[in-house]
Amino acid sequence: LGAAKKVRGALIVIEGLDRAGKSTQVSRIAQSITAKTIKFPERTTPIGKMIDSYLGKMSEMDDHAIHLLFSANRWEKVDEILRSLDDGQHVICDRYAFSGIAYSCAKGLSHDWCRSPDVGLPLPDLTLFLSLTPEVAAQRGAYGEERYEVVAIQEKVKTILSQLGSETNVGPWQTIDAGQDIDKVTEDCLAEVKKAIDSVQLKGAPIGKLFT
């Protein structure tokens, strides 16, 4: 008698602007479905420390160079993500390649160029885009001090991010109204996450590759 093959975990991505409530929802979802969470940028690695210094305006960097570091920061976690999924564990990423493209494109880099270093990353089984109107965002108070936390950039990022879901080979993409009551946002997220997990378990398909 062979042991039943273990079903892999689901890869869930949460995207959205600063102040959309991503981190809150990530921890609530993770608790509900018992998942591992990874926040990008992952600031504790040597690459992550360079990114942290750049975001904190302690260092300057060419736009292309910082873009590649953000991507490298995802690639350095791929092994861990794949091993967890293989092990049957769900993984939730707080930001992913979509943030990478949106923030760099907002600075004027070409879309195709921005996309290429992330080609082949593990394909999300679901991306939840926490969408917020500029009005509701403004009611949530002032931005922090980090680079990009300014209205002009956030508006460009929102436009680009909300279009990324209709590109090919990005995986299932759902937009969630993040302006609702916090518990309702969680409820909407969980409904989608549960569907995605059911689909992974039903299909038994291996994890795909982003943008391929």
Which residues of this chain interact with ligand TMP, rule CB under 6 A?
18, 40-41, 55, 70, 95, 99-100, 103, 148
CA distance 83 to 103: 29
> Strands, E, within the chain: which ranges?
11-16, 35-39, 90-94, 126-131, 173-177
| Residue 148 vs 211, nearer CB to ligand TMP | 148
Query: Tell me, what amino acid is at 159?
Result: T
- Over the range 84-107, which residues count as b (16 or more CB within 10 Å of their CB) and which as e? bbeeeebbbbbbbbbbbbbbbbbe
Nearer to Mg ion, 145 or 181 (CB): 145
Which one, 38 or 126, has the nearer CB to ligand TMP?
Answer: 38
Task: For residue 133, give every residue at least 6 positions away whose Cβ sits within 8 Å of its Cβ, in sequence order, or none.
Answer: 179
Q: Report in angstroms how near the CB of residue 17 gets to Mg ion at its nearest.
A: 9
By CB under 5 A, is residue 52 in contact with Mg ion?
no
- Give the nearer residue to ligand TMP in terms of CB position, either 70 or 129: 70
| Backbone phi and psi for residue 173, each to the nearest 5 degrees, phi listed first | -135, 125
Burial of 3 (0-12, 13-18, 19+ CB in 10 A): exposed
* Backbone phi and psi for residue 183, each to the nearest 5 degrees, phi listed first: -70, -35
Does position 76 bind Mg ion by CB under 5 A?
A: no
Tokens of 86: 């293989």
Minimal distance, residue 17 CB to ligand TMP, in Å: 9
9 binds, among Mg ion, ligand TMP, none (CB under 5 to 8 A by kind): none
CB of 139 to ligand TMP, least distance (A): 19
Q: Find the shortest distance in angstroms from Cβ 186 to ligand TMP.
A: 19
Closest CB 149 distance from Mg ion, rounded Å = 6
If the CB atoms of residues 101 and 193 are measured against ligand TMP, the closer one turns out to be: 101
From 7, 12, 17, 18, residue interacting with Mg ion (rule: CB under 5 A) = 18
Residue 167 identity (one-letter amino acid) = E
